[in-house]
Structure 1
Amino acid sequence: MKTVAVAISGFGNVGRQIARMLLARRSRYRNLYGVDVRLVAVCNSRAGLRKGAGIEEVDFASLVPGSTGPAFLVEAKPDVLIEAGPSDFETGSPGLAYLRTLLAMGCDGVVVSKGALVHSGPPLRRLAAATGARLRISGATAAALPTIDVLETGLLGCRVLGLEGVLNATTNYLLNAMMERGIGFPEALREAQAGGFAESEPSRDIEGWDTACKLLILANFGLDLDLGMKDVSVSGIGGVTLDDIGRWREEGTVPRLVGRIEFREDGPKAEVALRTYPLDDPFAHIAGKAKALRIHTDCMGEILTMGGGPEPTATASAALKDFELLLATPR
C-alpha cells in the first residue's frame, strides 16, 4: 500500500485540529484511496516533532524545542504540506518560507493561512506549476463555505461577471447584534470578545483587512487575476453609529461588510465596504457568524453559497477536503 507522508506547519488550535481529524480518518483514506496516510512532522514557531513511522495524538505533548523551520520539515520528506500557521499579509511570514521551500521540492501544498497567498500568491502558483506540485487553498477562503471550489470547477464554461461576499464571521456577528438588539458598536464588540466571538485585538476583522485578504485570494486563484492589496479599496465597520442602526432599521435594510469584485471596461475593481441590503435579498439573512458568496455569471445566472460551522473544526474540515481531493486525483 502506498504511503502518503504529511507535515503540518503551524500547530496551534487549527493545526492540532487538522492533525486530530487526519489521524481519525486514516481508515477512510485506506478504504477509499488505498493509501496509508502518516503524519510525519509537525511544528510551530518554537518546537516540533518528526517521526517517520507516524505521529499519534499522544505525541502532541512531546514537541521538541528548537525543532522547527522549513529545513526541519524537509528532513521528514513529506508528500503533502498543510500550512496552518499565523497569517501576516504584509510579509507572508511565517508560512511563505515553508511553502516556497516545500513547493520547490515538488511537495503538494494545502494552505490554511492567508498571509503567504496574499503576499505572494501568483509567484507561489508559478512555483508549483514549475515543479509539478499542487496547491489547494479552501481553508484560506472563508473556511467551510464553498468559495474557491465553485469558481474553479462549479462554473466551468461560464464567464464570471462579478462577485460579492460576506467573508468575515466576526463583523457579520457584530452587525447582526447591533441590528437585532439596537446596541452600539462598542457594546457589541465587548460582548463578542467576552463570548469568544471576536479577537482581543480585532482590528484586522473590523477594519476590513481579513475580508480584503480573502477577496484577493479568490481574485488571484479563482479568477486568474494578479491583484495586490494596493489594488483593493478597504473600509470597515468601526464607524457605525446608533443613528446608522436606527436609520437602517427604519428603512428595512440590513448592513453587511462585503468584499466585491466588478469587471469594468477599465479593468477589475476590488473593494471592501459596508453595504446595505433590502429584506428580500438573501444577503439580509446571513445569520450569526455565517458567511456567504454570490457570483454573477453570463450563462448560469446568480450562484449563491451561504453557511458556516464552528471553529476550528470548520477550517480543519476545509483543509482536509483539499487533502482528500489530492488523494482522489493522484499524480
Structure 2
Amino acid sequence: MTQELRLGIAGLGTVGASVIRMIARRGEALSRTGMTIRVTAVSARDRSRDRGLDLSGVTWFDDPVALARSGEVDCVVELIGGAEGAAKRTVEAALAAGKPVVTANKALLAHHGLALARAAEASGVSLACEASVAGGIPVIKVLREALAGNAISRVYGILNGTCNYILSRMELEGLTFEACLKDAQALGYAEADPTFDVEGFDTAHKLAILTSLAFGTAPDADGVSVEGISAITPLDLRMADELGYRIKLLGVAEATSAGIEQRVHPTMVPKSSAIAQVMGVTNAVTIDSDALRELTLIGPGAGGEATASAVVADIADLAAGRTAPAFGRPATALAPPARAEMQRHEGGYYIRLSVHDRPGVAAGVATRMAEREISLESILQRRSEVAATQDRRGRSGMPVPLVLITYAATEAAIRASLDAMASDGFLAEPPQVIRIERE
C-alpha cells in the first residue's frame, strides 16, 4: 500500500502557490517515489486573497508555528522568507517536533543555518534547501553530491536576476542605472525598495550557503564583503566593452593561502567566459575544481515555477527516503571558516578616476601607483566629453575621466594609492573601482 507524505506549506506567495500547482500537476509522477504527496495544511497572512488555488479540504492556519506543530502535517515547507520572525520560529518548531523541513529561505540559512542543521540532526530529520540558491538550478545537489570526489578551489556566479537584468539593459541600450531599475520594478523583477537586491545583500546570503557547501565550513554571512551595482555608470560599461569585458555582479568564494575569501561586488569578466554570456534575469554558477576544472550551471534563478521546481525536488527526495546533511557534512563537522580579509585580496583592477585637467596630474597618479608597487597594464584618457570647452592649450579646466587597468595588486595597495591621490588633490570625485576576474 502506498504511504502518504502530508505537507504543510507556510507562505502562499508566488512560490507557495506554484508549489501547490506543481504537486497537483505532477502528482502521478511524484507517486513513483513510493509515497503519495498531498498538501494538507497551509498558512498565510491573508485568507481573503484570491490565489487561484483550490484549497478545499486543506486546513488553514493563521499561525505558521501552529501549522508546524500540527498532527496533520508530516513535512513543513517554509516559504515565508526572512532571517528572523515567523520563518525562523516555524522552522525551529517543525524540527523540534521531529518533522523534516524544506525551505527556500537563503537569509535564514545564511544567518542561522548551523543552528538549524544541528537541530535537524538532533531530531533525526532533514533540512532541505535546494531552492535557497539560484532558483531552479540544482547547484546545492551538485556541490553536495555530484562533486564529492573533487577538491573545490573557487565557486562564483550571478546569483541575483534583478542585478543581471539591470546591468544587461544598461550595457545593451546605454541606459542609466536609475532608468533600468525603474523598468525592473515595473516588470516585477525588483521590489519597491530594491536595496536588498541591488546593494548585493541577497547575493551575499546565497554565497554564504555555497561557501559552506564548497569548503565544508559553517555559513558565515557576516564574513562576506558586499558591494552593490548602484554606482555603475554607462561609461564603465562602455569602457568594459572596449577592453574585452562585461560587468556582472558576482558572488565569489575562493580558498586562498590566507583563508576563505567571500566577496560580492561588480566584476569585469572576459567576454569569452561562459558567465559573460548570461544576460537578463538568468542566473549562473561556476565551480572550479581539481578534477573537472570548470563547471558552469546556467538557468532560471527566480520566479514561481523555477523556485517551485527546486522545492518539489526536495520534497520528492524526502518521499523517496533520499536524505543528506543540509550543508553536505554533519553539523558537528562545520567549523567557522578562516576569513581572508578583503584588504588581502589580490587581482587585477579597473579604476576610473575623475581628475582635474592640469599639468602633472597623470604623472602624479602613475607615481602614487608605483609607490605601492602597482603595475599598470594600460592607461586610457577620455577627453571627448570635455573637448568643446578646451582652451588653445588643449585643457578644458573641467574634470576628465582617466581609466587605469592594473596587473595583479592587493586591495590594500589599491586603496592606499587612491587615498594618496585624494590627499594630493588630484581627484574631482570619488574613484570607481571594479575588480577583474580573469579566467
The TM-score with structure 1 as length reference comes to 0.90
Q: Indicate the RMSD between aligned Cα atoms, in angstroms.
A: 2.2
Whole-angstrom CA distance in 2 between matches of 1:137 and 1:76: 23
Matches within 5 A, 1:177-188: 177-188=169-180
Helix, strand or coil for the counterpart of 1:259? strand
Structure 1 partner of 2:78: 83
Of the three residues 43, 55, 58, the one matched with 2:54 is 58
Judge conservation of contact 1:41–1:76 (CA < 8 Å) in 2.
no
Structure 1 partner of 2:5: 4
Structure 1 partner of 2:183: 191
**CA gap 1:60/1:209 in 2 versus in 1, 3 angstroms:** farther
Return the offset for 1:221.
4.2
Judge conservation of contact 2:164–2:249 (CA < 8 Å) in 1.
yes
Whole-angstrom CA distance in 2 between matches of 1:22 and 1:104: 26
Structure 2 partner of 1:45: 45
Judge conservation of contact 1:41–1:73 (CA < 8 Å) in 2.
no
Helix, strand or coil for the counterpart of 1:58? coil
**CA gap 1:181/1:57 in 2 versus in 1, 3 angstroms:** closer
Of the three residues 263, 268, 272, the one matched with 1:271 is 263
Judge conservation of contact 1:47–1:63 (CA < 8 Å) in 2.
no
Whole-angstrom CA distance in 1 between matches of 2:107 and 2:275: 27
Return the offset for 1:309.
6.4
Matches within 5 A, 1:1-331: 1-30=2-31, 32-45=32-45, 57-59=53-55, 67-87=62-82, 89=83, 92-308=84-300, 311-329=303-321
Whole-angstrom CA distance in 1 between matches of 2:88 and 2:118: 14
Letter in 2 for 1:72: L
Whole-angstrom CA distance in 1 between matches of 2:57 and 2:244: 53
Helix, strand or coil for the counterpart of 1:4? strand
Identity of aligned residues (%): 30
Return the offset for 1:34.
2.9
Alignment length (residue pairs): 319
Letter in 2 for 1:70: V
Judge conservation of contact 2:120–2:127 (CA < 8 Å) in 1.
yes
Letter in 1 for 2:189: F
Return the offset for 1:122.
0.6
After superposition, the C-alpha distances for 1:39-96 in whole angstroms (9 at most, x for unaligned) are: 1110023559xxxxxxx942279986x7323123312442211111132x3xx33211
Judge conservation of contact 2:134–2:302 (CA < 8 Å) in 1.
no
Q: Which runs of 5+ in 2 are unaligned?
A: 324-439
Return the offset for 1:16.
1.3
**CA gap 1:227/1:5 in 2 versus in 1, 3 angstroms:** closer
Judge conservation of contact 1:170–1:205 (CA < 8 Å) in 2.
yes
The more displaced of 206-215 and 277-286 is: 277-286
Letter in 2 for 1:67: D
Helix, strand or coil for the counterpart of 1:94? helix
After superposition, the C-alpha distances for 1:223-269 in whole angstroms (9 at most, x for unaligned) are: 32124222110000000112212211222310000000111222211
The more displaced of 220-229 and 157-166 is: 220-229
**CA gap 1:310/1:102 in 2 versus in 1, 3 angstroms:** closer
Return the offset for 1:320.
0.3
**CA gap 1:233/1:60 in 2 versus in 1, 3 angstroms:** farther
**CA gap 1:77/1:179 in 2 versus in 1, 3 angstroms:** same
Return the offset for 1:218.
1.5
Judge conservation of contact 1:99–1:109 (CA < 8 Å) in 2.
yes
Whole-angstrom CA distance in 2 between matches of 1:323 and 1:222: 23
Helix, strand or coil for the counterpart of 2:24? helix
Return the offset for 1:116.
1.6
Whole-angstrom CA distance in 2 between matches of 1:105 and 1:208: 35
Letter in 1 for 2:282: A
**CA gap 1:243/1:45 in 2 versus in 1, 3 angstroms:** same
Q: Which runs of 5+ in 1 are unaligned?
A: 49-55
**CA gap 1:95/1:212 in 2 versus in 1, 3 angstroms:** same
**CA gap 1:330/1:247 in 2 versus in 1, 3 angstroms:** closer
Judge conservation of contact 2:208–2:220 (CA < 8 Å) in 1.
yes
Helix, strand or coil for the counterpart of 2:55? helix
Whole-angstrom CA distance in 2 between matches of 1:62 and 1:134: 24
**CA gap 1:289/1:302 in 2 versus in 1, 3 angstroms:** same
Helix, strand or coil for the counterpart of 2:254? strand
Return the offset for 1:124.
0.8
Whole-angstrom CA distance in 1 between matches of 2:241 and 2:66: 56
